[in-house]
Amino acid sequence: MIDLRSDTCSKPTEAMRQAMAGAPVGDDVYSDDPTVKELEHEVAAFLGKEEAVYMVTGTMTNQVAIRAHTEPGDAVFFDQNAHVYILEGGAPAAYSGVLPRLLPGVRGVFTPADLRAAMGVPHRFFPATIPAPPKLLCIENTHNIGGGKVWPMERLQEVCSTAREMNLALHLDGARLWHASVATGIPEHEYASLFDTVSICFSKAMGAPVGSVLAGPRSFIARARRFKQQIGGGFRQAGIIAAGALYALRNNRERLVEDHHRAKMLAEGIAQLPGIDLDPGTVETNIVRFRVTNMRSTDFVDLLYDRGLHVLPSGTDGVRAIPYLNISDADIKRAISIIESVALEHAHESMEAMNSDGAETATAVRSSSGY
């Protein structure tokens, strides 16, 4: 089975496992774990921030960041398709008690005018204005639902400086910031310099089994540590997993260019097939998203699965595929030929036919929908 559902499916290599097995550890809740500290120092320096804190997931680093930037009732600005807003279990509302204000991004990218419009006219009805001061803007780079879209630097600078004029704090969901940097040659710390806080992920594409880091100013990270503890994120001899993240930072970053190349190869290999709507020009990093035009994406995904390719249905007509560390050129070639065989065999089907001949009763058990 070739599994392209997500770059979270990457597995630690033998060398990473050895680094993990030999890592010195201590109780991280007492700040005693030397490997966690080493990771936090190295990431802070890498991103040009004063301090950093290691946590279990990207969701935790993002939501702790939102909690530490705000108080309940504050407004937070998100792109309408931001991971932090729609794919993190409702946490902004449930955990931080904030009011999401949505921006009409195109593949995650919006404009200074969008931000100004969302801010509206000062009035005490709106938590984003008076009497509570406006609080926070979250930006995602690269953008997951946007198909791995990279924020153009110039646009990012404009939006961030508009946010500063509006006195907003800025948080970067950089789960795939690596990919933006590898694609543009602009180093991570340059993107990070536009933001107060940044979270990055080691369990996606970088090959580590677990973990994310939140970086920012010293006083902010101290407050974030309190909320990390509050939601049960105090882990003890976490150095074992932190060693995997450290190994990834030092060894697996440069190779991401291979994943970008394979994503492009996949996109170009299937874009012309009947029933597939895909512009390879939109594939800027490691994520390939396309639409299936003649059947439901869950049915399409099940047909692929039966031939040895596992991809992720996204909504009713979307499909996502992502190459990563353990995926080779040969895997991509095979994936293309599997998609081709299914697309050609079903080229003359239409959505209506699928619905009326009972195919819709396919259980789609394997292809539980994701993003």
Ligand X SMILES: *Cc1c(COP(=O)(O)O)cnc(C)c1O
Q: Which residues bind ligand X (CB under 6 A)?
A: 57-59, 62, 83, 140, 144, 173, 175, 201, 203-204, 212
Gyration radius of the chain over CA positions: 21
CB proximity list for 111: less than 8 A, separation 6 or greater: 155, 158, 159
Q: Strand 212-216 and strand 276-277: pairing?
A: unpaired
Using DSSP's 3-state secondary structure scheme, residue 49 falls into: coil
Rank residues 20 and 336 by Cβ distance to ligand X and give the closer one: 20
**Cis bond upstream, residue 122 (ω within 30):** no
- What is the DSSP secondary structure assignment for residue 150, as one 8-state letter? P
Q: How far is the CB of 62 from ligand X (least distance, A)?
A: 6
Q: Give the residue with the Cβ less far from ligand X, 83 or 225.
A: 83
Q: How far is the CB of 175 from ligand X (least distance, A)?
A: 3
Nearer to ligand X, 203 or 297 (CB): 203
By beta-carbon proximity to ligand X, the closer residue of 59 and 252 is 59
Nearer to ligand X, 269 or 318 (CB): 318
Cα–Cα separations (whole angstroms), residue 238 to 34, 216, 243: 10, 21, 9
Give 57 or 341: the residue with its C-beta nearer to ligand X: 57
CB 265 within 8 A of CB 285: no
Q: Structure tokens of 327?
A: 């995926």
CB of 141 to ligand X, least distance (A): 9
Using the minimum distance from each CB to ligand X, give the nearer residue, 105 or 275: 105
Q: What pairs with residue 212 in β-bridges?
A: 55, 201
Least distance to ligand X, CB of residue 170, Å? 16
Tokens of 247: 């190994």
Q: What is the spatial distance between Cα 6 and Cα 38, in angstroms, rounded to a whole number?
A: 28
Secondary structure class of 214 (helix, strand, coil): strand
For the bound state, the minimum distance from the C-beta of residue 180 to ligand X, rounded and expressed in Å, comes to 11
The DSSP symbol for 73 reads: T
Residue nearest to ligand X (CB): 58
Taking the complex as a whole, how short is the minimal distance between the CB of residue 231 and ligand X, in angstroms? 13
The two three-digit tokens of residue 367, written as one number: 């292809």
Task: Count CA atoms within 13 Å of residue 324 on its CB side.
Answer: 25
Closest CB 324 distance from ligand X, rounded Å: 13
